[in-house]
Structure 1
Amino acid sequence: MRQGVPNREVAEQLNIPRGTIGWWRCEDRKLRGEVYRQPTDCPKCTGCDFDRAAYSYLLGLYLGDGHIVSKPKQRHLSIFCNAEQTGLIAAAEEAMRKVMPSPSVGRNRKPGCIEVKSYTKHWTCMFPQHGPGKKHTRKIALEPWQQAIVDDHPWQFVRGLIHSDGCRITNWTTRTVAGERKRYEYPRYFFSNKSDDIRKLFTDTLDKVGVGWTTLARGSDPFNISIARKASVALMDLHVGPKY
């Protein structure tokens, strides 16, 4: 073990549970007075390079349907996906692995959804927006290094937000043409989120990429952002597309 052989390989060679090997290694470190530091590839802690486009997408997913648990014995990032949208589930997993390859990534099936989880305490380093309570009850602002990434990869950020709290639907209306009532259908994007800050991050980024939008209030709640202009929908279809 002192030569760096992983616990798993030692356990297989000796036919002993991996937990026992881990305890032996822990006791050996105590005897030698060695302080254990868990290895990490956290970009913020190590300064190592990472996939910034994947991070911009993952940031959008986190702000929409993401959650971080940070407790002494329970630390992970969770993204909640519709169980039927297998492409979204795979994209969330891929983004996590591209940003931090070392932590294990798994899936947890819940009623109607799949929880994609990546296990490491360092997700709080990458998402400083983490905090107690729901996101819409506290201030959400990007740090300068995060904003620089979003500025460089705005479409990935928009895509992550749409894939979390957005959708692409087909609306319809009727018009009278030459005395005849005709039905017309047109595609439309929606983004719905209770956080004023997150909605503003979304609309500010839409402004930067040239997408027109409007606020569609239900009652007195301006929680819905609508993208319905033909040219803007075409841009969204080119760079985002529907969830799948």
Structure 2
Amino acid sequence: MNLQNLHAPFPPNEIEWRVGSTKADKSSGLALAYLTARHVMERLDEVCGVGNWQDRYEFHGKRTVCYLSIRIGEEWVTKADGAGDSDVEAEKGAISDALKRAAVKWGVGRYLYSLGNTWVDLEAAGKSVRIKKTEFAKLAKMMEAKFGLPPSDMGDVNLAAAEAVEAEEQAALVSARHKIRDAQNTDECQSAFGEAWKQFTDDEGRRQLKAEYDARKAALGTSRVDPNAQFDQMARESEPA
């Protein structure tokens, strides 16, 4: 799980907009960007996995508090925030707003707070006003230029770059161990061990290789070359001068 992917921008067409402050004549106003609760939940599913996050709510008068927890390793870590103390938020749904605010603390949609003032043309909508439809394409382009595009395949974001390297190294270690294990004679076993020893320099990897080497050598019988002597020689050669 790579929690940094919670911070990734959303596709411009998933950003919702509402009108903030307006000019006196209502001809233009500030466009305020926000996410729906559904998009927040989808991001949590994509990055954390459906079984690795959970939400809980408490109600304190008119205020709703969301406790958003993510499982990191074997531990659940919780961040909380609340909503519901204004009429506007009450209309939008205090539970949804509380979830979105708690998610911001995890990084979901936080980049939208750096958007700044974006003025757009407005049109009448009954007794109120709304953003003109012609403005949305401009807003989408502006978002893309300012924040870039999200990962093209969110199905892969759980594997961070460092985790991908670790996974490749682990696969290579398993392959090297199998090569030692499959050796048909002591010479092959010794050769496979020597190649793997040069490839893997971490203590844990070398410990596994040595254990595999000793086990295979024991199964093949006594070698003409003492495996412990070769191990000690390789260890000396790998030490810094």
| TM-score exceeds 0.5 | no
Which structure dedicates a bigger proportion of its chain to strand? Answer: 1
Which structure dedicates a bigger proportion of its chain to helix? Answer: 2
Q: Could you tell me the TM-score, scaled by structure 2's length?
A: 0.22
Question: Which one has the largest radius of gyration?
Answer: 2
Q: Could you tell me the TM-score, scaled by structure 1's length?
A: 0.22
